[in-house]
Amino acid sequence: MSKKDGKLKNFVLTIILLVLLFIVFIILGGDKLLKSAGKHIEGAGKQAEELKKDIEQKATVIEKKAENVKKVLKEGEKPGEKK
């Protein structure tokens, strides 16, 4: 029975520790920390959107160039020619 009592005791002590840490976090101004973290994440999201648009534009340009190269290669080949 002592093994089960030890596990229960550790569980209860862990819960108490988490509650105390939560209370200290609130007292020390955790809301300001959370707000600043939210703003930081929002800024990173905006940067990611800008990078995504830039990459998509570059990808379309490269895709068009690749299509042009394929056309040139197809036109350059004539039936019956061997390389």
Give the start-to-end residue ranges of the domains of the chain: 8-72
Using one digit for the tens of pLDDT, what is the confidence trace for 13-49?
A: 999 999 999 998 888 888 888 888 889 999 999 999 9
pLDDT score, position 33: 83
Q: Phi-psi category of 79—alpha, beta or left, where left has phi over 0 and alpha has psi -120 to 50?
A: beta
Q: Indicate whether this model's pTM tops 0.75.
A: no
Instruction: Look at residue 78 and tell me whether its pLDDT is greater than 70.
Output: no
Which tokens is 4 given?
């089960």
